[in-house]
Each structure stands twice: as structure tokens, then as C-alpha cells.
Amino acid sequence: MPGTLKTTGILSKDELMESPGMPTKERMEEGPIAIIECIQEIPCDPCVEACRHNAIEIGEDITCLPRLIEEKCTGCGICIADCPGQAIFVVDLNYSPEGSILMIPYEFFPLPTVDSTVMALDREGKVVGEAKVLKVSNPKKNDTTPVISLLVPKDLILDIRNISF
Amino acid sequence: MRIETHPILGKRGRKRRVVIEFDGEMIEAEEGEPIAAALMAVGISVFYYTKKNGDPRGLFCAIGRCSDCSMIVDGIPNTRTCVTPVRAGMKIETQHGIGEWKLNQ
Amino acid sequence: MSAAIAAAKSGVEAVVLDENERPGGQLFKQIHKFFGSREHGAGTRGMDIGRQLLEDAEKFKVEVWSNAVVWGIFGGPQLGINYQQKVSKLEAKKVLLATGAYENSLAFAGWTLPGVMGAGAAQTMINIHRVLPGRRVLMVGAGNVGLIIAYQILQAGAQVLAVVEALPYIGGYGVHASKLRKCGVPILTNHTIKEAVGEDRVERAVVAEVDSNLKIKAGTEKSLDVDTIHMAVGLTPMAELAWLAGCQFSHIPELGGQVPLHDEDMLTTVDGIYVAGDLTGIEEAHTATEEGKLAGIAVSESLGYLGNQEALLLKQEVRADLKALRKGPFGEKRRKAKAKIIEERKSICRGP
């Protein structure tokens, strides 16, 4: 669809692909990896310190966009809860023949139950399929930003960003 | 409509309930909350009617600046209900125009 | 708060007067995680930053007078106050005004109906008092305030049917907009609210498209089934006390209108009167607390509690942080406007 983040509130495919927070296709095939969907220059850097593997780089000027160092990223997902913009996701493309894993931040109530099936929503909030809830993580250090691990269809990994049930 | 559970703020804390009177009806409120919140919680949105045209007015700024939430409280008109906490037995009335002083003593 | 804490740290006797039940300004309503640098509280929820300030105030023996209304300010400086049912005057060596801002409104047909209120008002009701103003909401304005509060309304359990924005683009951060879009909330750019319809409260809203001159295009009206309309159309500095004190002002639209002039130490054109926060120009929480800190350090220095060298080092650290917060495309306008304030202040107060 036409439009950019600035005009619609939705990241265009180009904006996503050109972002320094986007891993390469090859790396995505290898295993769990973060996707940092942060493309506007805002003074902000909690993600850098959140990462235990030094896989996120911003530099002196914290207005610069976060850069994902994919060789160092293990896809652990700790950074997801720390991003004030809720712009970080983790994907495991080739998790299983049944689908890929997608980890999303989810600050709503109620939380879904593990093993339940929920509706998968795209960036516009439209239902594009179903997802299975594999894990709901809400440790104290997340400061009330639960992270949900979902089993989703592989071809929708870059589209699904929310759930409803 | 009270928000019982909230994803960030958690469960609503147990606060002492008090009973206040609104236009003759008894309403349960939480001790210390602003009158406007207690009324909003039970769906009341009209706080007064203007003098000139009798237009309904309700909460607007919620921080005591605009006076659209003015009501007669314990006989005193033009009380800003968004910054006035409830007390047990408080009498609140919808104000019409600039209100009348209805002191009890 | 941060000014008082900074001053108290140097040994100054600091008192905070706030007309509310507790100080902290807008912080306790901000339940979202803040942006900015990690070392200055980014990633922490606004309400927790507020709690920390209250704790620090106690730790450094800052006196806090709540439910204290400052109704006047006189030479001295002296404050006219209403506190604990008494009207009195309070003398101070230095005064810092950090009175914040008030919400703007948009006048449209039906705007006085109950159910039409400021976005900040909604935030107060849902996050502080935990009461929903309505179930089906229209948000007017896609700046950060509108976007953040629309999201918080969803978190509180109500629906947001749309956000309308008169400009052709979203003024707030894209990430805030994305959070709303993926919940199915449409953001209608080039749209504004035309009318609120209802008997005793809002029953529906009429929105319409606008042209490049922000005029409504006839025939584009759409009816939305909402019971509440929130306006997030900007803030204006709450500058009454600064006016009363005789401070020189300048009209700077990018900062919200009339703002009191100040120098690099946050000192106004009136001896002994400092300003900080949204009063000096609409920005955000971090810049407000940093400006407060700067003013606190400057006051300590001016009263002799901090040596010039020590004060300079502390001030430079804060100024560097302010500079970092005003970088990037979102901060550019503010940075330039703030520089303008200091320039204008310099040009007025030349002389011995």
C-alpha cells in the first residue's frame, strides 16, 4: 500500500528493508534474530544497554538509528520489553515445519493463555491468519511489558505484529 | 465505568467506600477521589446547565482550570468538582446557571 | 521538583509549592516508558520517574507544600499564597516558576457538549482516577499527546474509532502511530472534526477532509459513532505568574506562543526569578527536569552554595544532555527556538 511511516503510521516495505535494524535474509534463515523497526531519528538508546550480547549499536549521538549486529544477536528477546516504542520483534523463521516463531511486546489485558489459538493481525490491525501462543513472558524486569511468543505462518513473518482474541 | 484491572497499573486498590448524594440519589464513591471521577464512574456526564441557553456542560480540562465541571456542593455553587475530593455524606447537585447559595445553617 | 532537589543537594533550603494534592506535574499520568538516554531515565515509566522525584525530595530534605495556591508574585521576590486555609505572603531569595502548560481547545459546532474534553483530561481520568470518560472515542490530533493517550485509552479498555489529523502527515513519533494502527485504529490525516452531535452528551461526531489550507472540503463529511471526543491540539505555557512578575516575553509559535525570556541559567529578565519546563516552551518531560536541574544549580551558585567552577561543570553536563534531547528532526525546531529565547534575552539585558 502507498504511504510511509510519516503519512500512515505504518512502515512501508522499503522503509523496513532499508532499516539498519533489519537483518539479512540469510541471517534470518539461520536462527532466532531480532528485527528493530526503528527508522526515525529520535534521541533514544535503552535498547543498546538492554542487549547482553552488544548486538545493538547506536553510537555517541543517540539520535542515530539503532543498528543490528546480526552476528552477535542470538534472538534472546530481552530487548523487546525495553524499547519504549515497542518497535523490536524477534523471529525464528525456520523453527519448525508448522511455522515460525514471532515474539511481540503486548501491553494489554487480559493476556492470552499458553497453547491457545489467537487471531494474528497485521500492521493495519487486519486479521491475516491464526497464531498459536507458545509462551507468555512477564518477568518483573520487563516492567509490565509482557512478551508473547507465537507460532505463525512463515510467509507472514514480516506482516504479523499483533494479536486479538 | 471504573477501570478494575489495567495492564500497567494493575488491579484497582481497595479504597474505602463512602456514600454521597447526587440530585437526591445515593451514590457509592471512593474516599478521596474527585467528585467528577465519582460521577463519571456511574455514567453521569452533565454537571451543569448554562445560564443563557441552558446548554449542558461537563468535564473538560480535569485539572481545575476551566470551570466546566462546576456544581453545587454542600450548598455552595461553582465548586470545581474535578479538584474537590468527595467526603462521606457530601451533597452534590446539578447546577443551573450561576447557581444559588443554599447553606444549611 | 528537580530544581528543588538540585538546590537542596548543595545545601539550599528549598520549598516546593504545588496546588495539587501531590507534586510531580504530569508525570504520574504518564504510564508509558520514556524515550531519551538510558542514563537519564529512558525506558522508565513516567509515573516511576515521578515516584523517584518524590523519594529524592524527601531524601534531600526538600519541603513540599501541597494544596498550596500561589496567586501572586511581588518584588522581593515575595509570593502571595493560599495555604492551609490561610492567605499569606512568602518571602524567598530566589523563585523558580515551573507552572507547566494548559491544553489548547478547538472550537467546532457542539464542542461544549459533555463528552468533549482535552486529551490530557482523559489521561488524568483514566490513569490517575481510573475512570473511563467514555467507551467509544475520537481523538483529534496526531501529535505525541494524541497518539500516546489514544493508546492508553485502548489499554484502559475503551475503543478508539479514529484519530484525525488536519496535517497531511503524523506529527508524533511513528512508533506511537504504529502501535495504534496495528490495533486497527485508523489515523485519518488531512481530516478534522466538523461537529459533535448529541442531546445531553456526545452521541456522534462528524469528521471531514480538509484541503491544503485546512479548510473543510464540502461533501467529505463522515459520521462516527462515538460518545467521547478528546482534543490533543497543542499546549500553551501557563504563564500568569511570569506575567505578574514582570518578566519579558517573546512570541514563539514553535514553543506554544508567549514564552518568558531566560538566559543560559534559566534566569528571566527579573532579578531572582527563574523559569523551567513547559512554561518556557512546550517540549517534554526530560527537558523539563533537566531545565529544572539547571535552574537549581544556577540558584545554588547565585546564593553562594556552589563555587563557580563546580557549578560550571554541573551546568555543562546538563546543557549537554539538553542538547542531545533536542537533536534530530523532531527536536530541530525546538532547539532553534530555545536558542532564540536566549539570544533575545541577551539583547534586552545588555549593560553593566
pLDDT confidence of residue C113: 97
Q: Which helix (H) or strand (E) holds C164?
A: strand C159-165
pTM, two decimals, is 0.94
Give per-residue pLDDT as tens, A80-94: 999 999 999 999 999
**pLDDT at residue A4, rounded to an integer:** 95
Cα–Cα distance measured from residue C45 to residue C59, given in angstroms and rounded to the nearest whole number: 21
Chain A positions touching B6 (Cβ under 8 A) are: 109
Beta-bridge partners for B66? none
Is B62 in Cβ contact with C121 (below 8 Å)? yes
Q: Which of A58-62, C143-147, C199-203, C302-306 has the lowest mean pLDDT?
A: A58-62
Average pLDDT over residues C201-218: 96
pLDDT of residue C352: 43
Q: In the prediction, which pLDDT does C351 show?
A: 46
Give the pLDDT confidence score for residue A92 in this predicted structure.
97
Rounded Cα–Cα distance for residues C47 and A51 (Å)? 24
* Residue range C73-127, pLDDT digits in tens: 998 899 999 999 999 999 999 999 999 999 999 999 999 999 999 999 999 999 9
Q: Evaluate if residue C338 carries a pLDDT over 70.
A: yes
CB pairs under 8 A between A and C: 130
pLDDT value of residue C100:
95
| Main-chain phi, psi angles of C170, to 5 degrees | -90, 120
Instruction: State yes or no: pLDDT of A1 exceeds 90.
Output: no
Find the length of chain A: 165
To the nearest whole Å, the CA of A25 is away from the closest chain B CA by: 35
Axis crossing angle, helix C2-9 with helix C46-59, rounded to the nearest 10: 30
Does the beta carbon of A121 lie under 8 angstroms from any beta carbon of chain C? yes
CB contact under 8 A, C173 and A62: no
Check CB contact of B41 with chain C, cutoff 8 Å. Answer: yes
**Which of B:9-68 have CB within 8 Å of A?**
10
Closest partner CB to A84 (pick from C35, C170, C183): C35
Domain around A120: 5-164
Arithmetic mean of pLDDT, B52-61:
95
Residue spans in chain C of domains classed CATH 3.50.50.60: 2-101+236-349, 105-233
* Contact with chain C for residue A37, Cβ under 8 A: yes
Mean local confidence (pLDDT), C133-140: 97
State whether C329 and A40 contact (CB < 8 Å).
yes
Q: What is the CATH class of C105-233?
A: alpha beta
Tell me the shortest Cα–Cα distance from A108 to chain B, in angstroms.
Answer: 5
Smallest Cβ–Cβ distance between B3 and the set C113, C115, C130 belongs to C130
Q: What is the mean pLDDT of residues A7-17?
A: 95
CB-CB contact of A125 with C181 (8 Å): yes
Q: Is a pLDDT exceeding 90 seen at residue C348? A: no
From chain B, the residues in CB contact with C200 under 8 A are 45-46, 56
- Residue ranges covered by each domain of chain B: 17-96
Identify from A136, A144, A147, A148 which residue to disrupt to test chain B contact, counting B C-beta atoms within 10 A and taking the largest count.
Answer: A144
Residue A71 distance to chain C (closest CA, Å): 24
The rounded distance, in Å, linking the Cα atoms of C294 and C306 is 13
Contact (CB<8Å) A40/C181: no
Predicted complex ipTM: 0.96
Q: Which of A7, A9, A46 sits opposite C180 (nearest CB)?
A: A9
Instruction: State how many domains chain A has.
Output: 1
Q: At what angle do helices C174-181 and C144-155 cross, to 10 degrees?
A: 30
pLDDT of res. C347 = 86
Stretch C314-338: mean pLDDT, rounded? 93
Higher pLDDT, B29 or C352: B29
Q: What is the pLDDT of residues B73-90, one digit of tens each?
A: 999 999 999 999 999 999
Give B12's pLDDT tier (boundaries 50, 70, 90).
confident
Q: Which CATH number fits domain C2-101+236-349: 3.50.50.60, 3.30.565.10, 2.60.40.4070, 3.30.470.20?
A: 3.50.50.60
Indicate the fold that domain B17-96 takes in CATH: Ubiquitin-like (UB roll) (3.10.20)
Closest-CA residue in chain A for B4? A109
**Binning pLDDT at 50, 70 and 90, where does residue A150 land?**
very high
Instruction: Classify burial at C280, counting beta carbons within 10 Å of its beta carbon; exposed 0-12, middle 13-18, buried 19 or more.
Output: buried
- Whether C72 has a pLDDT exceeding 90, the answer reads yes
Q: β-pairing, A67-68 with A56-57?
A: antiparallel
The 10s digit of each residue's pLDDT in C236-264 is: 999 999 999 999 999 999 999 999 999 99
Q: Is the dihedral of CA C255, C261, C262, C266 positive or negative?
A: negative
Yes or no, beta carbons of C174 and A39 under 8 Å apart: yes
Residue with grid cell 501541597, as numbered in its chain: C66
d(CA A134, CA A147): 11
Most B CBs within 10 A among A107, A108, A109, hence the mutation to make, goes to: A109
Query: Is B3's CB within 8 Å of C132's CB?
Result: yes
Give the list of residues 6+ apart from residue A63 with CB closer than 8 angstroms, or none. Answer: A41, A42, A43, C324, C327, C328, C331
B21-41, pLDDT tens digit by residue? Answer: 999 999 999 998 999 999 999
Kindly list the residues from chain C whose CB atom is less than 8 angstroms away from the CB atom of residue A125: 181-185
Choose the closest CB to B59 out of C103, C117, C130: C117
Select the more confidently predicted residue: A94 or A60.
Answer: A94
